[in-house]
Amino acid sequence: MNYRISLLLTLAILSNSCKEEKSASTEAEKPTESPWLLGFEKTKTNPIMQADSTYLFLDPISKKEVQWQKADVFNPGAIVKNDTVFLLFRAEDNPDAILGGRTSRIGLAYSTNGIDFTKYPEPVLFPDNDEFAQWDQPGGIEDPRIVETPDGTYIMLYTSWNKDVARLSSATSKNLKNWTKQGPVFENANNGKFLNEWSKSGSIVTELVHGRLIAKKINGKYLMYWGELFVNLATSINGVDWEPSLTDKGELLHSFKPTLNDFDSHLTEPGPPALFTEAGILLLYNGKNLSGEGATDKYPEGTYCGGQVLFDKNDPTKMIERLDAPFICPSLPHEISGQYKAGTTFIEGLVYFKDKWFLYYGTADSMVGLAVKE
């Protein structure tokens, strides 16, 4: 049985399971008011950030100066500090390499209006001659998400890419500029059972506190939705070392799965930090449409759009409801260009800033876009 047939059969079985689970839910479990974060509009200035070959960096691995932003700048995490928006963005160096063949580093930029950003000259997180090189080399460090903890520590979750296995990793900082790598988040979990399993895209649950999104502990632990094909759940005491939620058989517990013949028929990948609300835990996620059998014809095959799903705040493994249509999709000419021409609005950064929601996304795997909700 080939991979595609196996995947479709698996999704069909899981889809039926989800339908049964959802039908068993009572109407009382659903919020009376709309739980969704809707009404985002793309800004007139778009993209807001692009590649720039003028930025140079002495690579500690090759001992050579590299144009670390020459190829692409995209997929940013976002945070507000001192009435300023900071973006931690992914930058790739070699435009001649094919998709997935470039080295990624994390850059830092700031803005007082959320639109016009100033970049720091050098990356703040990058592959180095350190104990983490086995995870970070040669593909680099990708796709950061960032949260602030109640004590003011910043936690960045990112993908370590050694071009063999993608591993979700973490780093910590007190000032957003100087970061300490903490290694793969599942390195110590279950005696290392999941260390060499493919893992990406960590979305830590946060709560809006005095205008800032702060990581929230529930029953004494932080929660994180993560994964690429399926959305999984993990818990942590310190926000750095995580324990994945498992089934009775010791397998990863899938809290949310792709929906065949819809915009998220292939991948359901967590986006920016999830939001703890009165209605439940709201996760904004990235959904990819399949190519061929199982895809929807409402959106081009291979397209990434943004969706939303609500989980029970008393049982975060339990889905309450899924928004039945994407709330953001590629629609601008540059969003179907670059190194991923099927089109992407890959959401990773969300902040509440000046009484508005700012949603930052990577587009075409090449640039940074912005949509704002009043």
pLDDT tens across 154-167, in order? Answer: 999 999 999 999 99
Report, as an integer, the average pLDDT of 91-98: 87
Reported as a single tens digit per residue, the pLDDT across 168-220 is: 999 999 999 999 999 999 999 999 999 999 999 999 999 999 999 999 999 99
How many CB atoms are closer than 10 A to CB 212?
A: 15
pLDDT of residue 25: 37
Are 285 and 291 a contacting pair, CB within 8 Å?
A: no
User: 152 falls in which pLDDT band (50, 70, 90)?
Assistant: very high
- As beta bridge partners, residue 328 has 306
pLDDT at 331 > cutoff 90? yes
2 pLDDT tier (thresholds 50, 70, 90): very low
pLDDT average, residue stretch 305-316: 97
Instruction: Tell me the torsion sign for CA atoms 263, 361, 49, 339.
Output: negative
* Residue 355: per-residue pLDDT: 96
Question: How confident is the model at residue 97, as a pLDDT?
Answer: 77
Q: How confident is the model at residue 32 (pLDDT cuts 50, 70, 90)?
A: low
Q: How confident is the model at residue 8 (pLDDT cuts 50, 70, 90)?
A: very low
Give the model's pLDDT for residue 57.
97
Dihedral angle of Cα 238, 240, 241, 245, to the nearest 10 degrees? 90
**Kind plus residue range of the DSSP H or E element containing 310:** strand 304-311
pLDDT, tens digit, 9 for 90 and up, residues 228-259: 999 999 999 999 999 999 999 999 999 999 99
Amino acid in position 199: S
> Two tokens at 186?
């599942």
In sequence order, the 6+-apart residues with CB closer than 8 A to the CB of 84 are 110, 111, 112
Give me the sign of the Cα torsion angle 349, 350, 352, 354: positive
What pLDDT shows up at residue 341?
Answer: 72
Model confidence at 100, pLDDT cuts 50, 70, 90, reads: low
All structural domains of the chain with their residue ranges: 3-373
Superfamily of domain 3-373: Glycosyl hydrolase domain; family 43 (2.115.10.20)
pLDDT at 324: 94
Q: Is 116 left (phi over 0), alpha (psi -120 to 50) or beta?
A: beta
- Phi-psi map region of 124: left, alpha, beta (phi>0 left; psi -120 to 50 alpha): alpha
Locate 45 and state its tokens.
Answer: 């200035």
Report whether pLDDT(9) > 60. no
- What is the C-alpha separation between 176 and 267, in angstroms, rounded? 30
- Tell how far CA 52 is from the center of its chain: 23
5 or 169, which is more confident: 169
pLDDT at 293 over 60: yes
Q: Say whether pLDDT at 21 is over 90.
A: no
- CA 42, CA 324: separation in Å to the nearest integer? 21
Identify the weakest region by mean pLDDT among 114-118, 140-144, 171-175, 333-337. 333-337
| DSSP, residue by residue, 334-359 | GGG-TT-TT-B-EEEEEEEETTEEEE
Q: Strands, DSSP E only, in 125-266?
A: 140-148, 154-161, 166-173, 180-184, 203-204, 206-209, 212-215, 217-218, 221-226, 231-236, 243-244, 254-256
Model confidence at 1, pLDDT cuts 50, 70, 90, reads very low
pLDDT value, residue 101: 73
Query: Cα separation of 227 and 244, whole Å?
Result: 11
Q: In whole angstroms, what is the distance from residue 121 CA to residue 202 CA?
A: 27
Residue 12 has pLDDT above 50, yes or no: no
Q: Is the pLDDT of residue 289 over 70?
A: yes
Higher-pLDDT residue of 9 and 346 is 346
Longest C-alpha distance within the chain, in Å? 61
Question: Hey, what are 249's tokens?
Answer: 């058989």
Angle (CA) 282 286 287, round 5°: 115
For residue 94, the model assigns a pLDDT of: 87
What is the residue whose two structure tokens read 């009382």?
28
Q: Give the pLDDT score at 192.
A: 92
Q: What is the pLDDT of residue 321?
A: 97
| 3-state SS class at 21 | helix
pLDDT tier at 292, thresholds 50, 70, 90: very high
Position 310 scores a pLDDT of 98
